[in-house]
Amino acid sequence: MPKKIYLDYAATTPVAKEVLNEMLPYFSERYGNAMSVHSFGQEALQAIDNARERTADFFGASPSEIIFTSGATESNNLAIKGVIKSHYSNLKNKNTKPHIITTVFEHHCVLNACETVEKDGLAEITFIQPKKDGVIDVRDIKKAIRDNTILISVMYVNNEIGTVQPIEKIGALLKKENKSRVEKGLPLIIFHTDATQAVNYFNCDVNNLGVDLLSMSAHKIYGPKGIGALYIRKGTAIKHIQDGGDQEYKMRAGTHNVPGIVGLGKAVSMIKTEKTQKKNAEMMELRNYLIQRMLKEIPKSRLNGSTIKRSPNNANFSFKDVEGEGLLLSLDMEGIACSTGSACSSGALSPSHVLLSIGLQPEDAHGSLRITLGKNTTKKDIDAAVEKIKTIVERLRKISGKVLEEFYYQTKQNPA
């Protein structure tokens, strides 16, 4: 069996050695509950405080603005449902239904959270369509703002096609907008971004971006699974949605995942280092090489999403007359791990909502392949993957051609 090649870093990343080493003592030696007053508890609390400081530092925030959660799914749910809960907790809002603006190609945890509050009759939602290049036009956001808009949620980097959204521009627009809303006595608009796929590669300073809420997850940045964070700007109107203890400034009840939090803090602290920045630049070159080879050597292939406004680790292709699931399984048998659509929705046979949103026909969306690189990816891996994909695409096309021929033959023979 040849060496396995992992090209699905947007689904998850391996835990970095340095991260694991910092986490290990908190499983077995320093196992205190951070809410306990004794020395075991204080040791755990100190580790959490340290991770919170590292995380706050990365985002240009204050430590008290960082809330640890179980991951980006929870952070996004807390952001959306917590803002809605806060709206209704104000007696004067009891009879005014708020409005949320988001996009059609968010991760399902944002889409479904928005749909839930809409179905429960708690909010009206506008879903903005991206342009054909997979980027949202700020003017479309501006046009969608209503007097009762209280929340805008736009992802920073799309998890399927890797396109980068104009978060800083939306932030600047909302700063102006909110100024005039104060004068008009309208509710302020809270700005949330799901930065899960951006943290590794893009500037996430919350003041540069002009965001009030930002979600992230450790397992996308060489940290452990099951831990994430929500940045909450001081003064943001948001309430907790899970009842229990007083952990995380009463915003997120439940015993702290101390090893996870330690791991998140370490993973975040490694991003701005020279080593990581150099790796990211090399990764982009390798990704460009991959795109060039694929488009040149595989007929009827296309790259989905902008080439420029794109995360350095992402390439998403469509191949005419090829079924993505078949391609994925054939690649897996050859030891190459990629994804069609997002990992969370692969297995479902409906075409990717992201690819449909940028104008692909369902049959082309079905024939898509997401390749995401990571810090362990080499040129040799890319070359091996391209060769395998070329062969498999050709073989699948032959099969689908044969099936079609058969179909026409049979329908001719049996016109009914």
Binding site for ligand PMP (CB under 6 A): 71-73, 107, 109, 155, 159, 194, 196-197, 217, 228, 342, 344
Nearest approach in angstroms of CB 155 to ligand PMP is 6
Distance CA 408, CA 236 (A): 62
Distance CA 329, CA 324 (A): 9
Two structure tokens written together for 214? 């930002």
Q: Which residues contact 384 (CB under 8 A, 6 or more apart)?
A: 2, 5, 336
Two structure tokens written together for 125? 């939602």
- Is 359 buried (19+), middle (13-18) or exposed (0-12) by CB count in 10 A? middle
Q: H helices of 60-132, where?
A: 72-89, 108-119
Nearest approach in angstroms of CB 72 to ligand PMP is 3
Nearest approach in angstroms of CB 9 to ligand PMP is 11
Radius of gyration of the chain (CA): 23
Nearest approach in angstroms of CB 107 to ligand PMP is 4
Q: What are the C-alpha distances in Å from 57 to residues 54, 124, 316? A: 5, 35, 33
- Which residues are the active-site residues? 344
Two structure tokens written together for 313? 């680790």
Nearest approach in angstroms of CB 217 to ligand PMP is 3
- In terms of CB distance, is 149 or 217 closer to ligand PMP? 217
Q: Which residues contact 196 (CB under 8 A, 6 or more apart)?
A: 72, 107, 155, 156, 157, 159, 215, 216, 217, 220, 228
Torsion of the alpha carbons at 168, 312, 161 and 144, rounded to the nearest 10: 10
- In terms of CB distance, is 103 or 301 closer to ligand PMP? 103
Nearest approach in angstroms of CB 111 to ligand PMP is 10
Distance CA 234, CA 389 (A): 49
- In terms of CB distance, is 141 or 264 closer to ligand PMP? 264
- In terms of CB distance, is 44 or 109 closer to ligand PMP? 109
Q: What are the C-alpha distances in Å from 323 to residues 5, 73, 331, 406? A: 21, 29, 12, 18
- In terms of CB distance, is 72 or 209 closer to ligand PMP? 72
- In terms of CB distance, is 72 or 389 closer to ligand PMP? 72
Two structure tokens written together for 346? 């692969």
Q: Which residue is nearest to ligand PMP (CB)?
A: 71
